[in-house]
Structure 1
């Protein structure tokens, strides 16, 4: 089965680990609009796309015990490199050598021994832009995360093309998984890229949206709509055939009482793997009529 995962943040990297045992061909399309931490500093000084979530996805798929994993996980302390990850710096160097974030990621992934495909949403830099009800424009994920009121709409600061291979992967997929993660800063960015949006609309793959498992701390916590409904109103198109709510996830794994969240994880990889192991056994979902969407996946189990 060919599976494409779309998103960003910790949610996407954990999703990749969870879904990898259940498919033969796995592709991730990663949001590249982050402007905080080491990633933000590198973007300010060197330009280019955000590299942090990409690094996280690649390292999540690598052998935790390998020397190369430990090396690229290293984060410097003190001096001009304070706070920077060696993995981020390596990806930056490869990007400057190849003039292509997509090619740089492919090389980095190969160095880690990963067979999965990790793609940026675009090779071209852009930022997330939110417009408030009073018309004020807020640019940058960090700034948007600190909002106290929901924006009227969210877009990209400039239009960009999808990364090479992203559209083809979506068209060829059997299943597309979107999320989990923060609605605005993790889930939305890639789906605001016009080429990707069109591919999501046209693909024959079953499109599954997984709501955020970790509690939102951003302005989204004040949302009074279902996340999938709000997201579709912001995007202006229907992006999923099936929406799996947090309650549905809990029900699906309710009989797995021995699943314990690792303290350093915002999303439970074992739990996610269990969920998709159960869902992928069910041809009914994968052959779902695109005109009927439900957020109560548990009722099918």
Structure 2
């Protein structure tokens, strides 16, 4: 089975580890609008796409005991490099040498010995832009996340093309998994790229949206409706065939004693792997019918 995952942050990297045992071909499309931390500093000084979530996904798939994993995982403490990850700097170097974020990621991933495909959502830098109810425009993920109210509208600061291979991967997928992760900063960015939006709407793949497992401390905490409904309203198109909440995740694998330890936990790789082991055991039509009858928090669009 060919599975394509779209997202960012810790959610996407953990999802990749969970799904890897269950599919023959795995591709990740990573959001590249982060403007905080080491990534934000590099973006500001070098005008590149966000590299941090890409690095995190690549390292998550690599052998954690290997020397190269430890080296690229290192984060500097003190001096001009304070806070920078060596993995981010390596990706920056490869991007400058290849003039292509996509090629840089491919080389970095190969250095780590990974067989999975990691793609940036675009080779062109862009940022999230929010329009508030007052009409004020808020630029960048960090400032948007710190707002007290949800934006009326979200877009990209400039239109960009999907990175090479992204649209083809979505078109050829058997299953498309969106999330889990922050709705605004992990899920939305790639879905706002026009080429990706069209591919998501036209693909014949089963499109599965996984709600965030960890509670968000960002502006999204004020959301008072179902995440899938809010996302579809903001995006302006239907992007999933099924959506699964935290409660539904626990129901799917209810015969595992420790499926959900706490609603505030970070994404648990073993639990996610159990979930998809169960989902992929049966045909989609049967799976949806059975799951909906057992728990109404799984919704079929």
1:288 to partner: Cα distance: 6.8
Number of corresponding residues: 295
Return 247-256 or 178-187, whichever deviates more. Answer: 247-256
1:241 and 1:288 in contact (8 A); partners too? no
Please report the RMSD computed on the Cα atoms of aligned residues, expressed in angstroms: 2.1
Match of 1:209? Answer: 209
1:176 aligns with 2:176: yes
Aligned-pair distance for 1:259? 5.1
TM-score, normalised to structure 2, is 0.94
1:200·1:239 contact (CA, 8 Å) conserved in 2? yes
Distance (whole Å) between structure 2 residues aligned to residue 286 and residue 160 of structure 1: 39
Relative to 1, partners in 2 of residues 1:250 and 1:221: Cα closer, same or farther, differing over 3 Å? same
Secondary structure at 1:26 match in 2: strand
What runs of 5+ residues in structure 2 fail to find an aligned partner? none
User: What SS class does the counterpart of residue 129 from structure 2 fall into?
Assistant: strand
| Residue 187 (1) aligns with residue 190 (2) | no
Q: Which residue does the alignment assign to 1:11?
A: 11
> Aligned runs of 1:262-301 on 2, under 5 Å?
266-285=266-285, 296=296
Tell me, yes or no, if structure 1 residue 116 matches structure 2 residue 84. no
- After TM superposition, the score normalised by the length of structure 1 is 0.94
Distance, in Å, in 2 between the alignment partners of 1:261 and 1:2 is 30
1:1-301 mapped onto 2 (5 Å cutoff) = 1-258=1-258, 266-285=266-285, 296=296
Give per-residue Cα distances to partners, 1:108-146, cap 9 Å, x unaligned.
Answer: 000000000000000000000110001100010100110
Aligned partners of 2:51 and 2:91 also within 8 Å: yes
- 1:296 Cα shift? 3.8
Distance in 1 separating the partners of 2:295 and 2:104: 38
Deviations 1:70-109 (A, max 9, x none): 0000000110000000000000000000000000000000
- In structure 2, what is the Cα distance between the partners aligned to 1:175 and 1:78? 44
